[in-house]
Chains A and B, each alone.
Chain A
Amino acid sequence: MMPTSDYDPACLPDLLPLYYRRLFPFSQYYRWLSYGGVSKNYFQNREFSFTLKDDIYVRYQSFTTQNELEKEMQKMVPYKVDIGAVYSHRPSQHNAVKSGAFQALEKELVFDIDMTDYDDVRRCCSAADICSKCWTLMIIAIRILDRALREDFGFHHLLWVYSGRRGVHCWVCDDAARKLSVAARSAVAEYLSLVKGGEETLRKVVLSDPIHPFINHSLSVVERYFQQYAIVEQDILGSKESVDKVLALLLVQFPDVFICLCVSVKSSIKKGGQYFDKEIMLQYCYPRLDVNVSKGVNHLLKSPFSVHPKTGRISVPIDLKELNTFDPFEVPTISLICEELERPTADEAEEDDVKDKENEQEAGERRRIRDYKRTSLAKYVKVFDRFLEAMARSWKGEMLKKSGELETSFSVFLTFMSFTYT
């Protein structure tokens, strides 16, 4: 078990410079956000925002090259990095643009699942806390949304990221996704929403005939995990007594209103019709999205590989193949990986010899590549690499389409090959 008690937010000012100099995977990051160079100036017109020390927030940061990005981040040492949209002009020059001409053009379709949105249906934790029991809710959310985005909407390139504390983000990076309008994003988010209503609403899921195939798919995921999730309360819907238990589970945090809630929830269950059991399961477990995060083309979302200032954890990509064994408490903290960096390794001496022949920058790069590989960050960067490789295949296709000639496509192929590394 990784000792997380090692992380102290006060150390951030010392750890972050080290992180950005030697561990942050700039090369892959730049490769991602350039999207194969298919669109001109895609990286240059991308907005980043930084949260600096003392909560100073700066928007409209943009960079022309990977090098510039690195230098700036190493200089400014942001506590948090957010990624925004690709604009019509360089965000850093937006004030020079005629009013109205500066527009957000494209951005990944994103989703933010936050555990606090489930507070009314989890009794193990509340607010910013999470534990292994309620983490199951995230697994359910990922499975349901990932399936729907791929099978229903036809998206292929999804990056799931642990936010560092209490939730997960999804970045849908397909070309079609990046070009979606506000209306389309909003429609996708609504399609995916089943749990509706705030504190005033008791019955947040209402099902009626016919049940849409999407709901059926989602139900089968929920049902699979519900047994596991509700293992403490066995057969919780089997009898009146256990329904009462469900109510108790639901209402234990609201003792004052227990009685009237009891009455009204019970009566609405009676009125609830044939699907009340499915509705309850969905109300417990179905993903709760914030539509506003997904709607806006210009919305800024926390960047992958950003550090969470409160927990110190790195926002790492999640490997869906290993989803069932993903443990948010095993995600490395910045203090851990910085510590791991300092530990000498056996083959370091060997590689020092090769260093002589290379120039400074390449050496720095290679060192950095070696560096993160020595830490617990390595396996997460690998997940990111695989994600990029899959996308790169589609970029290659795009570039070939654009160039059209055999000669050009060969040179593109060579360029593509040079992007990859072992």
Chain B
Amino acid sequence: MQFLGRRKKLIGNFQNDLYDQCLQFYGQPPLENISLTEFETFAVERLKLLKTVENVGVSCGKSSEQYTKKLDAEISSLNFPHRGGISEYEKRRKDHISHFILRLAYCQTEDLRRWFIQQEMDLFRYRFNCLHSKHKTDFLHKNNLKYETVSAEEKKNLKDKLIASSYGLSGTKVEEHDVYKVPFQDALDLVRTRKVYLLAGNAYIPHHEIVTIVLNDFRTRLSKALAMTARSLPAVQSDERLQPLLSHLSHAYVGQDYSIQKNIGKISLEQIDALSGKSFPLCMRHLHKALRENHHLRHGGRMQYGLFLKGIGLTLEQALQFWRSEFVKGKVDADKFDKAYAYSVRHMFGKEGKRTDYTPYSCMKVILSNPPSQGDYHGCPFRHSDPELLKQKLQNYKVSPSGINQILELVKGMHYQLACQKYFELTHNVEDAGFSLNHPNQYFTESQKLLNGGRDIKKEVDMSQRSQENPASLWSLKMELDRQGISAK
């Protein structure tokens, strides 16, 4: 399903028009054919971008210098259109197509829609603000945003009132730049906070504030579009090539998968207790403690913890020994262990059944799939524990009261991975973790790096290399998720 050369020339002009602007409202879906590879790559890269938008947005202020720097870097490295450079055609095309692909993946539930709209809005706001003033006006005109500009005469009459109502507006700015007249219903955020001048039902918006209005418009359009997409989704999902891809995108982990361990055998079983306190993320520390106390873990816990241990470097022999010794202390005798549980440990290591080498769970997977019920210890404590219990646990682990409050605030805002990151920072006594937490094994690696000064654990295959290892590893990840029966919900 590759591009036909002739078709490319015919629609070339149309496409040129379509992509003559750096930024767009995604009003029209793309009309070309693309390869499955491109389909997948584009989607995954946009997802990475949106996740960065989310992380950076919460950890730095949205208008801070850090935010700008980090987003700039990510946008460039992922090859998305930036500040309106010259040879941006390919990037804009990717921007366009990837947005629409993700719509398919993220239209299905209220939560997914909300997340997608929030990140796309933040990305849009950022890119709009980066535009040159002239390009902003061009954008408004091209998109039929019927925001009337106020005449010079009216501006002069209202100058004092405008200055007194809008933040950061000076006399010269009023004279030189456009002021837009917008029905007050379209500027509710500014009306609510009384940050705009109102007259006869119209809000008078200075040029630099017009982004708020545009964003509202963007949100409304995207929200409607997603609802419509959800209705037509069954038709798309019936396409066998796309169905697995789409249902996994919404859960996709797009970083390192820790399937290749460079440190096999470097951990001894005696170290695990100590390591659990020092370098395990809270979920695994919790699981380890439960295992030690109860001499048992249910299936969900065995999978989550067992794969994690594999990821930190345990060999199959070590794992068998580890689990057997613990279970035997409980109600399971050695025989029963060998019959019932050993199989599943070997299965984890790819030595049984289809012989797939399973990969340790990412944070997304832990947070979103298989919530724990009574008697379970798996899941993400920041997501699944009652805040009171979480607080107690953190107190037991000697986290400072102010630290606990910060964590609980993040949990309240549903930023579970950031809460875990904060836990990392507090337990390792650093101000900035220096990484964006996505995976429990990443937590372990980073922790060891910090504690050992980078000596012992060699830095594993880094992300940029990964992203060029197109599609094979990503496909295998998808196949595995498929096998594990991850649903799109």
A153 contacts B194, C-beta separation under 8 Å: no
Given A183-B188, A210-B164, A212-B165, A151 contacting B194 (CB threshold 8 A)? no
Q: Which of A187, A210, A212 contacts B192 (CB 8 A)?
A: A187
B201 contacts A191, C-beta separation under 8 Å: no
CB distance from B386 to the nearest CB of A (A): 29
B200 contacts A184, C-beta separation under 8 Å: no
Question: Is A129's beta carbon under 8 Å from chain B?
Answer: no
B194 contacts A191, C-beta separation under 8 Å: yes
Q: Using Cβ atoms and an 8 Å threshold, which residues of chain B touch A260?
A: none
Question: Is A188's beta carbon under 8 Å from chain B?
Answer: yes
Question: Is B185's beta carbon under 8 Å from chain A?
Answer: yes
A191 contacts B191, C-beta separation under 8 Å: yes
Question: Is B235's beta carbon under 8 Å from chain A?
Answer: no
Question: Which chain B residue shows the least CB distance to A177?
Answer: B201
B201 contacts A212, C-beta separation under 8 Å: no
Question: Is A155's beta carbon under 8 Å from chain B?
Answer: yes
Q: Using Cβ atoms and an 8 Å threshold, which residues of chain A touch B164?
A: 210-213, 216
Q: Which of A153, A184, A211, A214 contacts B188 (CB 8 A)?
A: A184
0 or 1 for each of A201-239: is its CB under 8 Å from B? (1 = yes): 000000000111111100000000000000000000000
Q: How far is the CA of A188 from the CA of B200 in the complex (A)?
A: 13
CB distance from A178 to the nearest CB of B (A): 13
* SS of B interface (majority): helix
Question: Is B144's beta carbon under 8 Å from chain A?
Answer: no
Question: Which chain B residue shows the least CB distance to A192?
Answer: B194
0 or 1 for each of A148-159: is its CB under 8 Å from B? (1 = yes): 000111110000
Q: How far is the CA of A184 from the CA of B185 in the complex (A)?
A: 6
Q: Using Cβ atoms and an 8 Å threshold, which residues of chain B touch A323?
A: none
Question: Is A186's beta carbon under 8 Å from chain B?
Answer: yes
0 or 1 for each of B385-409: is its CB under 8 Å from A? (1 = yes): 0000000000000000000000000
Q: Which of A155, A181, A210 contacts B201 (CB 8 A)?
A: A155
Given A183-B188, A184-B185, A214 contacting B193 (CB threshold 8 A)? no
0 or 1 for each of B171-193: is its CB under 8 Å from A? (1 = yes): 00000000000001100110111
* SS of A interface (majority): helix
Q: Using Cβ atoms and an 8 Å threshold, which residues of chain B touch A214?
A: 194, 198
Question: Is B382's beta carbon under 8 Å from chain A?
Answer: no
Q: How far is the CA of A374 from the CA of B281 in the complex (A)?
A: 83
Q: Using Cβ atoms and an 8 Å threshold, which residues of chain B touch A213?
A: 161, 164-165, 197
A154 contacts B202, C-beta separation under 8 Å: yes
Question: Is B163's beta carbon under 8 Å from chain A?
Answer: yes
Q: How far is the CA of A214 from the CA of B194 in the complex (A)?
A: 9
Question: Is B199's beta carbon under 8 Å from chain A?
Answer: yes
Question: Which chain B residue shows the least CB distance to A193?
Answer: B194
Question: Is A190's beta carbon under 8 Å from chain B?
Answer: yes
Q: Which of B163, B192, B202 contacts A191 (CB 8 A)?
A: B192
In residues 132-154 of chain A, which contact B (Cβ within 8 Å)?
151-154
Q: How far is the CA of A212 from the CA of B194 in the complex (A)?
A: 8
A210 contacts B199, C-beta separation under 8 Å: no
Q: How far is the CA of A190 from the CA of B165 in the complex (A)?
A: 15
Given A153-B201, A180-B185, A190 contacting B161 (CB threshold 8 A)? no
Given A187-B192, A190-B193, A191-B192, A154 contacting B165 (CB threshold 8 A)? no
In residues 100-153 of chain A, which contact B (Cβ within 8 Å)?
151-153
Q: How far is the CA of A181 from the CA of B185 in the complex (A)?
A: 9
CB distance from B197 to the nearest CB of A (A): 6
Q: How far is the CA of A183 from the CA of B164 in the complex (A)?
A: 25
CB distance from A168 to the nearest CB of B (A): 23
B184 contacts A153, C-beta separation under 8 Å: yes
Q: How far is the CA of A409 from the CA of B189 in the complex (A)?
A: 41
Question: Which chain B residue shows the least CB distance to A149?
Answer: B201
In residues 163-197 of chain A, which contact B (Cβ within 8 Å)?
176, 180-181, 183-184, 186-188, 190-191
CB distance from B253 to the nearest CB of A (A): 36
Q: How far is the CA of A151 from the CA of B185 in the complex (A)?
A: 15
Q: Using Cβ atoms and an 8 Å threshold, which residues of chain A touch B199?
A: 151-152, 154
B192 contacts A186, C-beta separation under 8 Å: yes
Q: Using Cβ atoms and an 8 Å threshold, which residues of chain B touch A188?
A: 191
Q: Using Cβ atoms and an 8 Å threshold, which residues of chain B touch A215?
A: 194
Can you list 18 residue pairs at the A/B interface with Cβ under 8 Å?
A: A152-B198, A152-B199, A152-B201, A153-B198, A154-B184, A154-B199, A155-B201, A176-B185, A181-B185, A183-B188, A184-B184, A184-B185, A187-B189, A191-B192, A211-B164, A213-B164, A213-B165, A216-B164
Given contacts A154-B200, A184-B185, A214-B198, 11 further A-B contacts (CB under 8 A): A151-B200, A152-B198, A153-B201, A154-B184, A154-B202, A176-B185, A186-B192, A188-B191, A190-B191, A210-B163, A212-B197
Q: What is the interface of chain A, defined by CB distance below 8 A to chain B?
A: 151-155, 176, 180-181, 183-184, 186-188, 190-191, 210-216
Q: What is the interface of chain B, defined by CB distance below 8 A to chain A?
A: 161, 163-165, 184-185, 188-189, 191-194, 197-202
8 A-B pairs closest in CB distance: A154-B201, A187-B192, A152-B198, A154-B200, A187-B188, A210-B164, A190-B192, A187-B191
